[in-house]
Amino acid sequence: MERLKFATVWLGGCSGCHMSFLDLDEWLFDLASLVDIVYTPIADVKEYPPQVDIALIEGAVANEDHLRMIKLVRQNTRLLVSFGDCAITGNVTALRNPLGNPTTILQQIYLQGITHTNGIPSEPGIVPALLERVVPLHAVVPIDVYLPGCPPSAARIKAALLQLLEGESNKPAGSEALRFG
Amino acid sequence: MMLRIRSAINEGEHMTVRTLMIDGQQISAQEGQSILDTAREAGIPIPTLCHLEGIGDVGACRLCLVEVGGGDPTRTRPLRPACMLMVAEGQEIYTNTPRLREYRRMIVEMLFAERNHVCAVCVANGHCELQDLAVAVGMDHVRYPYLALQCSVDITHDRFMIDHNRCVMCTRCVRVCDEIEGAHTWDVAGRGVDSRVIIDLNQSWGTSPTCTSCGKCMLACPTGAIVRQGATVAEMERDRSRLGWLVNAREKKQWNA
């Protein structure tokens, strides 16, 4: 049997979900024996490959890079897992939404009420522009599985991955595995 | 079937027993009892948010909606809030149909979409009835766009604060303040997404001439909206049953219950 191609992606989040993923400790060896890890911020891979089977996506969609990336990931992946609260709800990354549009927020941060300023940072092509609103993944692309938690515990990640590797993607309603926060 | 029994609590008063069906189960209840209380006594769970033991019900959150059968079988069964619906002889009640489960999940999702509920950084994380409800209704994500409303935070009271971002408009604070404390400091202003709980004449909490600083609103609040000042993430624990205990003690003189 051909081994499944597995990826993890880091968008607008704090990387806490990936830290929790690393908390799988020795089970990572078991996972590595079951799947080929073809893309992850933990390894040095530049391009997201085609025909990925399962991808865990951490973080919300907050800037233009995230938007491009999530569309590419969706195109190249069979099962997309919204990984952690930022990916599912926007969470901390989306705390800026009630405060106004990016211009207003950047002006507040870099210009207003400070004595020394180099202006609002602008490096076209290097620093991606912020989107009007931070949105969860499912607002942009269809999502197959939701794995909440801030971060989801290693045990919860393991349970979800085992389910997916066995070809199941449905969690029962009322399951504690669905708890946010 | 109707029979008269003598109540042990209200000596000399006649209580009428009603027999009804809840989810196909035959259940007896006292006249004047709500479907919610009757179902819970029988071990049938119905989710609630605005209901709180010790204060009057208002049917605000709609989570306890049940289907009332027995009518025209060709028509969809009407929906009634179980907290406001009183038992009646021969009633047929359904508490857990696919339609009700879908509506309950929709309600919880809309509560999350309306204001800014961020469990991860909330003082009530792990002790929140809204967070628990999301688990209970199987909410794995919110299908509606988040409104990202701008809501204020009032920290002008010495001991308590209110963060309107986390308020679900259950009005428990309004009722507990009016019915148990007798101060009626809290009330509701505005309509739709603009509705807010307010202090007195919509003024800052610290300037309230009526607030007795008793903290019952803080005890009653189901989320992290009304909290103790100084509480940080996940620290906001409270014993909501103290309110029911207080009412029971006052009305039945049972101080050690």
Q: How much is the pLDDT for B7?
A: 38
8 Å CB contact between A52 and A78:
yes
Instruction: Closest CB to A174: pick one of B122, B138, B150.
Output: B138
Q: Is the pTM of this model over 0.90?
A: yes
Q: Which parts of chain B have pLDDT scores under 70?
A: 1-14, 257
Of B126, B115, B196, B60, which Cα lies nearest the Cα of A180? B126
What are the DSSP calls for B145-205, one per residue? PP------EE--SSSEEEEGGG-----HHHHIIIIII----EEEESSGGG-EEEETTT--G
Here the ipTM equals 0.93
Sequence-ordered list of residues with C-beta below 8 angstroms from that of B70, at least 6 positions apart, any chain: B90, B91, B92
Instruction: Closest CB to A88: pick one of B138, B141, B151.
Output: B141
Q: How much is the pLDDT for B254?
A: 86
How close does chain B come to A26, measured CA to CA in Å? Answer: 27
Q: How much is the pLDDT for B11?
A: 47
CB contact under 8 A, A98 and B131: no
CB contact under 8 A, B141 and A89: yes
Of A130, A94, A92, A126, which Cα lies nearest the Cα of A110? A130
Q: What is the pLDDT along chain A (181 residues), one digit of tens a residue?
A: 689 999 999 999 999 999 999 999 999 999 999 999 999 999 999 999 999 999 999 999 999 999 999 999 999 999 999 999 999 999 999 999 999 999 999 999 999 988 888 899 889 989 999 999 999 999 999 999 999 999 999 999 999 999 999 877 667 667 888 999 9
Q: How much is the pLDDT for A1?
A: 62
Q: How much is the pLDDT for B97?
A: 97
How close does chain B come to A129, measured CA to CA in Å? Answer: 20
Neighbours of B110 (CB within 10 A): 14
Q: How much is the pLDDT for A68?
A: 98
